[in-house]
Amino acid sequence: MLKDFSKIETIFNSVKEKSFSKASKKLGISQPAVTQQIKTF
């Protein structure tokens, strides 16, 4: 369940920031990690 919340948070931040790179900086994870989380959601 916590894993799913993390993915939802990643998607939310990506939409809010309109950028995977900006979302990754805000979340403290790499841009490829953001992309991977969105792909596997």
Tens of pLDDT along the chain (41 residues)? 677 899 999 999 999 999 999 999 999 999 999 999 999 88
The pTM of the whole model exceeds 0.85: no
Q: What is the pLDDT of residue 1?
A: 66
Distance CA(1)–CA(19), nearest Å, equals 25
Note the Cα 34 to chain centre separation in Å: 4
Domain around 27: 2-39
Q: Number of structural domains, the chain?
A: 1
- 3-class SS shares of the chain: helix, strand, coil, % to 5: 80, 0, 20
Residue at 26: amino acid letter: K
